[in-house]
């Protein structure tokens, strides 16, 4: 398990590097945390570390954004905040993305937990008094 504490946005490149270095074989990152805790901002930095050149933004209305890493491989970014039920995840064909072997980053993951792959990296971010604590660990079911 990885545990990091940070309180400034300029620390995010190092946080992203540590996540990628500690879990080099993981491609599915499931983010958990309250609104405004910095999930999207951290995903933006992870994408930057992967060489994504497109504008990385929360896919709140589109549910999914697709980018390309430095090798031209797909990077999928999901925001399930607006999902009303699991059927909507089925409608977007989540399985094609989740089991593609490509990078997948999910926000508001708690809304689709029953659909998660058997193995993923769970990242929890908690904010208290301006300091964020990130814990990351592999979940295998």
Q: 2-140 domain in CATH 3.40.50.300?
A: yes
Q: Which two tokens stand for residue 77?
A: 């970014």
pLDDT tens digits for range 12-33: 999 999 999 999 999 999 999 9
Report d(CA 125, CA 3) in Å as an integer. Answer: 10
What pTM was estimated for this model as a whole? 0.95
The pLDDT score that the predictor gives to residue 61 is 85
Domains of the chain, by residue range, sit at 2-140
Pair of tokens at residue 66: 């697709």
pLDDT tens per residue across span 54-111: 999 989 888 999 999 999 999 999 999 999 999 999 999 999 999 999 999 999 999 9
- Reading the block at residue 97, the tokens are 């993305």
């Amino acid at each position: 398990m990885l545990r990091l504490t940070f309180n400034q946005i300029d620390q995010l490149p190092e946080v992203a590097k540590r996540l990628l270095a500690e879990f080099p074989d993981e491609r599915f990152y499931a983010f958990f945390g309250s609104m405004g805790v910095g999930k999207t901002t951290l995903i933006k930095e992870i994408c930057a570390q992967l060489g994504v050149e497109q504008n990385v933004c929360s896919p709140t209305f589109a549910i999914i954004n697709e980018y390309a890493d430095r090798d031209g491989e797909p990077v999928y970014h999901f925001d399930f905040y607006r999902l009303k039920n699991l059927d909507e995840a089925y409608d977007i064909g989540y399985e094609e993305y989740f089991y593609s072997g490509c990078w997948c980053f999910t926000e508001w993951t708690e809304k689709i937990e029953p659909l998660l792959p058997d193995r993923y990296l769970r990242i929890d971010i908690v904010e208290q008094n301006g300091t964020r604590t990130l814990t990351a660990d592999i979940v295998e079911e």
